[in-house]
Structure 1
Amino acid sequence: MEIKIFCPATIANLNCGFDIMGLCLENIGDEMIFRKSVTKGVQITKITGANLPYEVTKNVAGVAALALLNTVENNFGIEIEIHKKIRAGSGIGSSSASAAGAVFGVNELLGKPLSRNQLVDFAMKGEAIASGSEHADNVAPCLLGGFTLVRGYNPLDVIKIASPSELYAVVLHPHIEVKTADARAVLEPTVPFKNAITQTGNLGGLIAGLFTNDYELIGRSLNDVLVEPFRKQLIPYFDDVKIAAIQSGALGAGISGAGPSIFALCKGENLAKEVAKAMQNSYSRTNIPFDFYISKVNEQGIKVI
């Protein structure tokens, strides 16, 4: 009759995988509570941690939940509580956690008629409310865990990729706002053919490195020649933090999603702590407050708690 779930944060793009790659974080995320109701449809009964609409058709979680509930035969309604722990606009999948959590929770109360892969499509419906388009680079890793690759959308084709056991992520979140629309607006509509080849090689290298546990190859592949050169201008002191991360031993660093969060990937927890310290020291010289997180890659994704 009632369940409580944890909806993890995610890092999308991973430099060379713009709009198609993402990974799931372990210890950062929202909580949501779902209850069966005699009133048909979806109702959002409580929201904490953010100023979000209770109107179902204007809420990311509401739209995603309704899309699924209207597709599967049922004889009850759903009440949802949303407890936000991921800041909106942070670049680590705040809206995606809500959308993915909504379809996961509804599916659980329905008796799990759909697989996690099938739920991605419904989560994208909610994600579109926040970003203006249906995309899966955040909701897929949130639902499936680990790394995910969106090979295509027509039809939707998502592949989960297991990560090396010692891979850790460090995330520094400056308390500034980068609107997704602005982050899209700074991108060029066309790219040089040479850069497209470089980016494709890096994407292939990243995937190969994950499959073969080749940390050096992962590091060499975390290079973005298409998006980062334009988007980094929206994030104050981005270059300083990235240089600090790499000089302290990170495999690579870049923009998480549309920003403003900056991520680094590291081999081992001890090194991740050193990298986090270097990134903090670098950003502490600014007058911008920030949060930071250290997380192993979360292979499970959303879970009942």
Structure 2
Amino acid sequence: MILKQEVKNYEVPSFPNIEYWFDEDVIEGLAKLRAAIFSVEDDRLQNLFKVAFSETIRLVSKADLGEFKLVRAERSKKKDVQLVFEAIARRNIVRLSVLSKLTLKARVDIQRVNVLEDLPLQDESVDLVITSPPYGDSKTTVAYEQFSKLPIKWLGLDDSFKNHQLGAKEKDFEQTLPSEELNECLEEIKRVDVKRAREVYSFYADLYKAIENISKKVKPGKHAVVVVGNRTVKGVELPTDKICADFFRQFGFVHISTLVREISNKRMPAGTMKHEYVVILRKSGYNNQ
């Protein structure tokens, strides 16, 4: 067993509809496992187990794992909490062992920041940015909040991030965004549904602000790589790859290339996204060799 200690004292977290999403014996198994994990004194080891626990929660729940939103499956097969957790934990340990054998000369600095605010980096200090922003607003496209809801509840984590997602605060077409293709799409959506057009605008207005903040940190002559998906709203396909390139151009970037790859292993709204676009850009300035 990964965690050998016998758990006698444990608490079941209290959140709405817990019985709707989990069988009674699964709730007990998760509660015992959670108590065992929280009792691990080594912070790094505890975090390793928390990651495995988070994935376990979704797999042993009654959620439909083929859906991108939180929906209960019509039929759910019971799974043993301990066996699922051990399989995930062992898999992760093997992967970390492989990674530890690689010769990597890098320092990792993980920070929790809001990309809509100024980033804690010096301007023009970054050689390469690789990022994959949300493919759309969480309410209607990829439901990041719903996907993580059950693990967040079990782990007792702060869920206030939902108030800071791109497009979370609705805007009323406050400025014309610098993308002709986006503005044409917004006009098409407006003719069908003004409210949806406003939600789409709010998302891209925040994305523009995020790109502005990111752009400041990249050195002249260096690169940004953005991975996006192009969603469809009210029958209108939004070319986010081209929109991102337009936005970056406003801050001195040149579009180098866009690579296309098929989405094969992500849960997406049926029929709305089949490809991802890897947009490669370079900031103008010195060292443009």
The question of a shared fold, defined as TM-score above 0.5 by the shorter chain, is answered with no
* Greater strand share, structure number: 1
Tell me the TM-score normalized by structure 1: 0.25
Tell me the TM-score normalized by structure 2: 0.26
Higher relative contact order (CA 8 A, sep 6+): 1
Considering only CA atoms, is the larger Rg found in Structure 1 or Structure 2? 2
